Amino acid sequence: MVPNDAHQTTGSGLYVGVMSGTSLDGVDAVLADFSTFPPKLCASCYLPYPRELAERLLALQNEGLNELHIAALIGNELAHLYHQSIETALVKACVAATSVRAIGCHGQTVRHNPREGYTLQVGNPALLAELCGITVVTDFRSRDIAAGGQGAPLVPAFHEAAFRSPEAHRIILNVGGIANVTSLKPGCNTIGFDTGPGNMLLDAWIQLRTGQAFDVGGRWALSGQSIPELLDALLAHPFFPLPPPKSCGREQFNIDWLKAHLLGSESEQDVQATLLELSAKSIASAIECWCGEPDELIVCGGGAHNATLLRRLSVLLPQTRVMTSDTLGIGADWVEALAFAWLARQTVLGLPGNLPSVTGAKGTRMLGAIHPA
């Protein structure tokens, strides 16, 4: 469980959370009021990435010519995009920058390799602090990795604080590029881990074959049929049977990995249907194996809008009520950004932000680096 009183109000106030995840689709920014708990969402803003920026970020996942220079330039560009999203949220809420205690900005992950002891995000938080005139807290993963943890997922600590029920066994499922779960079982410590691909391969395949950014509602997948042999081959990836704590990313699951398993004669829609089944089955299997049978599955992230995926999860987990986080009062699109606002608040208050039962770290740690306004 969270190693502090998550409901305390000392030092509470307005915080901004900024999230840009492995889907590479854009920036989510929220302004949250922590004078009550769960926090009140005051305003939000989503800014899509320009296609060419997403392509340059994707290229940074691999070694390349002059990559350090390119990463620095992209970090500056992201700082301006983050600033734009924050300013939009503040204007919506009619709130001045001087009223905001801090910004929690995750940055854009381009490498995540806890086995080798490092994680790397770009975004230039110093420039963001200069642009916004607000203290910025960033680099949340590194301290947990230094303490022997995975550095991911980080959001379960916020899930613990915001969503735990004294009666119901809830699992919070975030379906971004990678899917991760948080198990909140009454009377038990919180556990959480990455389950494998969420939207990442679904988005990559539909972009490659149709040019669309994502499969709206999972309709394209619904028009195909899952290919059993392909699904079995994909599920044979060694990540899936690993026990938690565990995390993953594009290093394991990417379009080249998918292509290596294709014969070339498959229907495009059937491949999409198989990828949706891969996400659904890997999520459901991980829950059954490591979390037991939950009463409720609370879905957030972009995948919460994939009706086909939600229906498959309901079939695969027949005893579990599947719903989105909107049911609990926090919009599915904003949970992760709110989590980073909460993590910034933890850092500013000198409180830990990780859960060793989730990441495998040696103990609780205060996360993040502070860039004062």
Complete domains list, the chain, with CATH: 14-151+336-371 (3.30.420.40), 156-328 (3.30.420.40)
Cα within 13 Å of Cα(235), Cβ side: 20
Spatial contact of 124 and 56, defined as CB atoms under 8 Å apart? no
Closest CA to 157 of 338, 373, 350, 349: 338
What pLDDT score does 28 carry?
Answer: 96
- Kindly give the confidence (pLDDT) of every residue in the chain, 373 residues in length, as a single tens digit, with 9 standing for 90 and above: 444 444 444 445 999 999 998 788 899 999 999 998 889 999 999 999 999 999 999 899 888 889 999 999 999 999 999 999 999 999 999 999 999 999 999 999 999 999 999 999 999 999 999 999 999 999 999 999 999 999 989 999 999 999 999 999 999 999 999 999 999 999 999 999 999 999 999 999 999 999 999 999 999 999 999 999 999 999 999 999 999 999 999 999 999 999 999 999 999 999 999 999 999 999 999 999 999 999 999 999 999 999 999 999 999 999 999 999 999 999 999 999 999 999 999 999 999 999 999 999 999 999 999 999 9
CA gap 289, 243 in Å, rounded? 9
CA gap 221, 269 in Å, rounded? 6
Q: What is the pLDDT of residues 312-355, one digit of tens each?
A: 999 999 999 999 999 999 999 999 999 999 999 999 999 999 99
Spatial contact of 352 and 4, defined as CB atoms under 8 Å apart? yes
CA gap 320, 37 in Å, rounded? 27
Q: What is the pLDDT of residues 51-76, one digit of tens each?
A: 999 999 989 988 888 999 999 999 99
